[in-house]
Structures are given as C-alpha cells and as structure tokens.
Amino acid sequence: MKPLFVLCIAFIVSLIINKLFSSHVNVKLSGKIALAAMLVFTSLGHFIFTKGMILMLPNFIPYKAEIIYATGLVEILAAVGIFIPFTRSVTGVLLIIFFVLILPSNIYASIRHLNYETASFDGNGVAYLWFRIPFQLLLIAWTYFFVLK
C-alpha cells in the first residue's frame, strides 16, 4: 500500500510544482516523476528488508540475496532510464515485463502470510492479493501511458 501512496503523492506534488513554474502542465513528466519516486522507494526495501524479501522466493531458487539486491538495483536503473530519451522505450518495456515477473513472488509471499518488513509469517495473507494484483495492473498501465505512449 505504501508504494501506491508514494506514486499518488509524488504525482500530485509534481503536478502542483509543474503548475507553479510553468503555464503548461506536463502530465507525462509528472507521471514519470511519480513512477521514478515509487521505484526508488520500493528499491530501498530490497536493501533494508533483504531478509524478508528473500523469504518471498521459493526454496528451489538459488542466490536469493543476490536476486533481491539485483532487482533493487534494476528498480533504481529503471527510475533513471525512463528519463533518458534513447533508453525510455526499452526501459518501459522491460519495466512492464519486470512488473509481470515479480507478481508470482508476491502471490507466493501472500499465500505464506509473509510480512517482508519483519521477516515473519504474520502478514495479511491471500487477502492482500485483492490489492496487489490490481496495483500491479496499475503499474503496468501507468508505465505504458506515461513512459511508452
């Protein structure tokens, strides 16, 4: 839920700042800024809550810590890449693929009632998917409309 708040608040603040300093509000720029802010925010979880995020991956997957660190780095690189004109399209497509690929780990974590912040199994459980799956779809649509279109 926190990433949704970051996305929305960053979008609104960016729109307001944009309006204060420009006669034309650049909604696409505000959308990219919001997405980048959300990506940087979520990437921090990969470095702060590594132990809990490792538990989001099934036991058969090797190099779990490295994967968690790498995906955190991917989010930071994507946050930058959406602003670079010659990497924007590729970054947008890869970001959509990334959002699709991380959904199974979120489903796995929800089934296990994982609270990745505390690395414990007292989380919301499957009910969390009623938020998470629509949120993933929102991120995919957001990336498409603000980065690719």
Half-sphere exposure of 125 (CA within 13 A, CB side): 2
Helix axes 64-81, 27-48, angle to 10 degrees: 160
Cβ neighbors of 74 (< 8 A, separation 6 or more) are 98
Per residue of the chain (149 residues), give pLDDT as tens: 999 999 999 999 999 999 999 888 999 999 999 999 999 999 999 999 999 999 999 999 999 999 999 999 999 999 999 999 999 999 999 999 999 999 999 999 999 999 999 999 999 999 999 999 999 999 999 999 999 99
Q: Which amino acid is at 113?
A: H
pLDDT for residue 8: 98
Each domain of the chain, given as residue ranges in start order, spans 2-18+25-148
Residue 48 has phi, psi (to 5 degrees) of -90, -40
Contact 89, 148 (CB under 8 A): yes
DSSP string, 54-103: HTTS-TT-S-HHHHHHHHHHHHHHHHHHTTSHHHHHHHHHHHHHHHHHHH
In this predicted structure, what is the pLDDT of residue 52? 97
